[in-house]
Amino acid sequence: MKVENFDFGTTKEGEKVSGIRINNEKGLEMALISYGATLTSLKMTDRKGKQEECLLGFGSVSDYEKQDAFIGATIGRVGNRIGKAAYVLDGKEYKLSVNDQGCNHLHGGAKGYDKVIWNIEALKETDRTGVRCTYLSRDGEENYPGNLEVEVIYWLTADNELIMDYKAVTDKRTPVNLTNHAYWNLSGEHRETIHDHYLQIEAESYLPVDEVSIPTGEIRKVEGTPFDFRKLKQIGPDLEKSQGFDHNFNLSAEKKETPSNRIYLEHRGSGRAMEILTTEPGVQFYSGNFLGGLKQMGLDTHYALCLETQMYPDSVNRKDFPSIILNPGEVYRHTTIHKFSHIK
């Protein structure tokens, strides 16, 4: 596989941003930058062999700094929302920064992992090449307890896979829920919206949310609702019925030892398909409802979609949801595999 290092400019604070690009022999190409350990590009061939862009991304650091949609970034310390921007751990209340709808803490806060500089380096193995991203999240950063050592390796394989391997250790009890905020559009070069994509999410239930997008606590069956993606179906018809998707689908009751929870996406016009296998019990399906707020950057509503593999939202405030508390001596692990292929 071919590996290329490149410069990606400097942040407004004067920090240098570097990048690594990897190509395999089947036309799959990945690029990642140190700002936010952000995936800036994922190019793959269509059924005719034409390589095109399938991720939202920007060409400059300043564009990433301007946007608030977490595009392509590694997310932490806690992905998704924490209601009322607060939680209690071991009898102590932790008040967090508010950065969502005037009341919630979203994706790690005002300066989450998406807005910091990571250390990145290329790794090579026999049948895969990757980018190892590391970051030390200090005790008290965004008011989370404990020094959290985070490692994420983004692997590109000879078999047309993108594998995300997350690992973290802490010296104090702390909540951890890491994910990636890639925005997918398999039509190629974003020539279409997501309406003609077909999606399958192997989940029997989802989490309804309140008026500020926090789970109500109910675990509702998908049967008979627009949220039923158990069988492959076109996304478009249900976008209006659901008023757009931004919900957690419950793939399993607990985290899996191996990546076996499944999501599948295809675009029939281009012939591109993507199967996702994950260890995580949930996936947040976000249909790009608010990308219209970035029209000045060339984006629009439903321009791309996110399939964020994760633990359940607001888990720190719900004892009936799978726990996201990491203890000293334990190792947080999360693996998500994206398998790219073609359909006829």
Contacts of 338 (CB under 8 A, 6+ apart): 161, 162, 163, 164, 274, 275, 276
The phi and psi torsions of 105 (rounded to 5 degrees) equal: -105, 125
Is 183 annotated as belonging to a binding site?
yes
One DSSP character per residue, 248-313 reads EEES-SS--SSS-EEEEEEETTTTEEEEEEES-SEEEEE--TTGGGGGGGT--TTS-BEEEEESPT
Specify the residue for token string 């693996």: 335
Residue 37 assigned as binding residue: no
The annotation status of 246 as a binding-site residue, yes or no, is yes
181 is in an annotated binding site: yes
Q: What is the DSSP letter of 72?
A: T
How far apart CA 319 and CA 224 sit, in angstroms, is 28
323, HSE (Cβ side, Cα atoms, 13 Å): 8
182 is in an annotated binding site: yes
Residue 90 labelled as part of a binding site = no
Residue from 266, 308, 334, 338 carrying the catalytic annotation: 308
Distance from C-alpha of 156 to C-alpha of 43, rounded to nearest angstrom: 12
249 vs 196: CA distance, rounded Å: 21
Q: Cα–Cα distance between 133 and 117 in angstroms, integer?
A: 10
User: Residues, the chain, total?
Assistant: 344
**Is the Cβ–Cβ distance between 177 and 76 less than 8 Å?**
yes
Q: Residue 325: which of 137, 99, 166, 145 has the closest Cα?
A: 145
Is 120 within 8 Å of 131 (Cβ atoms)? Answer: yes
**Among this protein's residues, is 149 annotated catalytic?**
no
Q: What is the largest CA-CA distance in the chain?
A: 59
Question: Of residues 29, 52, 161, 181, which has the active-site annotation?
Answer: 181
The yes-or-no answer on residue 181 being catalytic is yes
User: What are φ and ψ of residue 115, in 5° steps?
Assistant: -120, 15
Binding site, annotated residues? 80-81, 181-183, 246
Binding site, annotated residues for beta-D-galactose? 80-81, 181-183, 246
- Active-site positions? 181, 308
